[in-house]
Structure 1
Amino acid sequence: MATTESQILNLESSPKSVPSGTDRKIQSPGVFITLALFAIGFVFLLQTVSLTQAVLYLIAGVLGVGLYHARYGFTTSYRNFIVAGRGAGLRAQMVMFLIANLLFLPIILHGTFFGHSVSGYVFPVGISVLAGSFMFGIGMQLGDACASGTLYHTGGGDARGVLTLVGFVVGSVLGTVNFTWWMSTPHFQPVSFVKSFGAVGGLLFNALLLAMVYFITAAVEKRRNGNVDSIRMKQPFSMRTIFRGPWSWVAGSVVLAVGNAAVLLLSGRPWGVTSAFAMWGARIAQAMGIHVTSWGYWQLRPHALSLQHGLFHDVTTVLDIGIILGSLLAAGLAGRFPRPYFRQFPVRMLAAVFVGGVLMGYGARIAFGCNIGAYFAGIASFSLHGWEWLVGGMLGSVVGVLIRPVAALSNQVKQ
């Protein structure tokens, strides 16, 4: 029997719309299994890699819980603003960036922690970032998730997340094939507001940009809808919601910003997601006899080392696994442990989801990252390229929103 439009709407909102878990019982077996995986993973990483890697694994779990309980979707935030002028998600991101700026600044200025150097993500501004973020914007609307969203949707039980992830891996590898060509396209040297204006000046300038986006989105929302949605929790706060959800946008922003700063402290670089996808795909390609090391991307020292070392020595891989398990834990706590429903989706939706993943994977490689590694970490690091990513990602999302109905994907505004 064909899937109706109303069924599609229900399928889209099912695992992502996470209402209060207080009306459902905690699914103890699932929670126990997930906690056991965290314990086993922590011990394994402690013995085979390092204490730092083991702690990062647990931090990633907290990030996964935060993404799930706060329904922290970059994709939906962009789409809601484009379709209906609802900007709560974008305003929450600006709050998150400001918190991250306040945490990142002293860390970046100090330069070293725990015996290793620490630096933010500050990359060139140019054609590759704009083109990559534009592709990513289209891809995340077709894939119905961004990079972080793909991880927490997969852990939360959305079977499409697995297909998006496969597309992400394919696209990431393809992006490494002609990475060198994209790096030769017109661009400016990296621009750091802190280096350009000093510590205080850089912080104030970035804060001004954040405030502009915050108040512009509020003004547009007021004009189009007559009111402005709050980014705070509408229901009374209780200790129970910490574990079972839902969380407010503000709570999610705080957890993600603090988590990103913790990753920066411990690993020496901000939180990223998609470089691991490229590495996974490259290892698969090597197993198939493809000599990926001849490609320029894999001749750069950090990327070459990621192929040489063990899989669990890669920080981003450990973070990605931890986020998936963290969202799985959150789903169990909310009484919504995954029950995949892959076969209920129309073929055209599945095709769009895969293509969306490919576009995001390719775009992330040439734009120096995804919505986390380039957009979040870039702005948190006071880099102009993070703001360029916002422009390209929004423009791409406009195109993606226009294509979504063709793929049986609804543009219904989600609260």
Structure 2
Amino acid sequence: MAAAVLFFSAFLCLSVSAITGLRYGLLIAIGLGFGAILEGLRFGFAGPWRAMILRRDPAGIWAQLLAIGIVALFALPLIDSHSGEVNAAKAPIGYAMVLGAFVFGAAMQIVLGCGSGTLVNAGSGNIVSLIALPFFALGSFAGAFNLSWWTGLGALPAQNLSGWEGTLVTLLTLSCVAAFLWWKAEPQLRRLPKKLILAALLLAILALFNLIVSGQPWGVVYGLGLWVAKGAYYSCIDLSGSVFWTATGSVERIQASVLTDYTSLTNIGLIAGAFLVAFWRNSLSQPVPKLALSGWVYAAVAGFLMGYAARLAFGCNVGAFFSGISTGSLHGWVWFAVAFMGSYLGIYLRPRLGLEV
């Protein structure tokens, strides 16, 4: 079993390298690592937020903050010293971003998976995520299609922390959030398991490799929307009504091979990595939830809203929260606070939509 997993991983990376070049082969390898860590070590985003809200268990969020802090410690100086070569995940803070973050936080709790979580769960055979994923991609495409209208409602310019001062402020703020969670946690749950510490360390290392190899932070949402945009383009669907999809960079990516798009490669690797871990564990055959038809419809709608909202919010838990904060973007902090509030709504709605049996 292990030999088959290693063979497939090596074959995939070498094939991509042979077709498009070493950089792209490295990115698919990084994506495989992301998927293996998230699935293999049970590191996630939506689940830990739910655990804190329902059980006051902060361990999963502590692990997220630890990983973000490790990345920030190295990424912020790197971005500062290599401006133009290595970029931050900066975005404006506006009405669209705040609304998008809130809706995303609610929708991810309805389907029990954020952007990366939906990819991981789909790769490991979760039926609800397999239903939600294509609608997530459609939502990402649709949100990008009319993003200019939403941003036209008003926004502050993108603001980024930089230099050693920015690094210090980021690490201190992460520490304050961690301390607040410790204060709010159940006393018997004030611990961070070694498995999550290891996962946070490995995830941070991979995120830094992704930043160095691609020149941009780890993201998820753009790649999913791009897949739908490619399908629309080659189906001769007119995209001229969208400022986003007719921008020079987007047109070039639509027309180019998917194997040369950085975010697509890590997304593909993430799904494959989760699949390989589930295959190794012999856990691909998951029971189908006994949901009413309405439950499946709600899962699809939530998937679409998650993709649409993530595009308005300039990212999901990965692109906005993880990569935003770790590369100094102030919008990452706003996204975190608003999406966490949205999670309360999603947790309230989930059983009422027939998604808990």
| TM-score (ref. length: structure 1) | 0.82
* CA distance in 2 between partners of 1:317 and 1:179 (Å): 20
* CA distance in 2 between partners of 1:34 and 1:159 (Å): 22
- Corresponding residue for residue 72 of structure 2: 101
- Corresponding residue for residue 190 of structure 2: 229
State the Cα distance separating 1:55 from its structure 2 match.
1.0
1:201-350 correspondence to structure 2 within 5 Å: 201-221=165-185, 225-233=186-194, 248-333=195-280, 335-342=281-288, 344-350=290-296
Contact 1:68–1:330 (Cα < 8 Å) also in 2: yes
- Corresponding residue for residue 244 of structure 1: none
Contact 2:94–2:151 (Cα < 8 Å) also in 1: no
* CA distance in 1 between partners of 2:231 and 2:286 (Å): 26
Question: What is the aligned-residue identity percentage?
Answer: 29
Moved more, 384-393 or 302-311: 302-311
* CA distance in 2 between partners of 1:103 and 1:394 (Å): 26
Superposed CA deviations along residues 162-184 of structure 1, whole A, max 9, x for unmatched, are 11111101111210221111121
* CA distance in 1 between partners of 2:247 and 2:314 (Å): 13
* CA distance in 1 between partners of 2:249 and 2:173 (Å): 32
State the Cα distance separating 1:32 from its structure 2 match.
4.4
1:134-145 correspondence to structure 2 within 5 Å: 134-145=102-113
Contact 1:142–1:355 (Cα < 8 Å) also in 2: no
Which has more radius of gyration? 1
Superposed CA deviations along residues 221-267 of structure 1, whole A, max 9, x for unmatched, are 1xxx342332123xxxxxxxxxxxxxx11111111111111001000
* CA distance in 1 between partners of 2:288 and 2:7 (Å): 27
- Identify which of 341, 347, 351 aligns with 1:401: 347
Matched residue SS, 1:119: coil
Superposed CA deviations along residues 41-75 of structure 1, whole A, max 9, x for unmatched, are 22222122110100111111111111012211211
State the Cα distance separating 1:394 from its structure 2 match.
0.8
Contact 1:65–1:323 (Cα < 8 Å) also in 2: yes
* CA distance in 2 between partners of 1:86 and 1:148 (Å): 21
| TM-score (ref. length: structure 2) | 0.94
- Corresponding residue for residue 3 of structure 1: none
1:14-93 correspondence to structure 2 within 5 Å: 28=1, 31-93=2-64
State the Cα distance separating 1:134 from its structure 2 match.
0.9
Matched residue SS, 1:338: coil
Superposed CA deviations along residues 187-231 of structure 1, whole A, max 9, x for unmatched, are 11111121xxxx22111111121111101111111xxx3423321
State the Cα distance separating 1:403 from its structure 2 match.
0.3
Q: Which amino acid aligns with 2:190?
A: D
State the Cα distance separating 1:332 from its structure 2 match.
3.2
Contact 2:230–2:254 (Cα < 8 Å) also in 1: yes
Q: Which amino acid aligns with 1:74?
A: F
Q: Note the aligned Cα RMSD (angstroms).
A: 1.8
- Corresponding residue for residue 200 of structure 1: 164
Contact 2:77–2:164 (Cα < 8 Å) also in 1: no
Q: Does 1:132 align with 2:103?
A: no
Runs (5+) with no aligned partner, structure 1: 1-27, 234-247
Contact 1:34–1:325 (Cα < 8 Å) also in 2: no
Contact 2:291–2:355 (Cα < 8 Å) also in 1: no
State the Cα distance separating 1:273 from its structure 2 match.
0.8
Distance 1:343 1:74, change over 3 A: closer
Runs (5+) with no aligned partner, structure 2: none
* CA distance in 1 between partners of 2:225 and 2:304 (Å): 11
1:143-162 correspondence to structure 2 within 5 Å: 143-162=111-130
Matched residue SS, 1:117: coil
* CA distance in 1 between partners of 2:77 and 2:258 (Å): 31
Matched residue SS, 2:188: coil
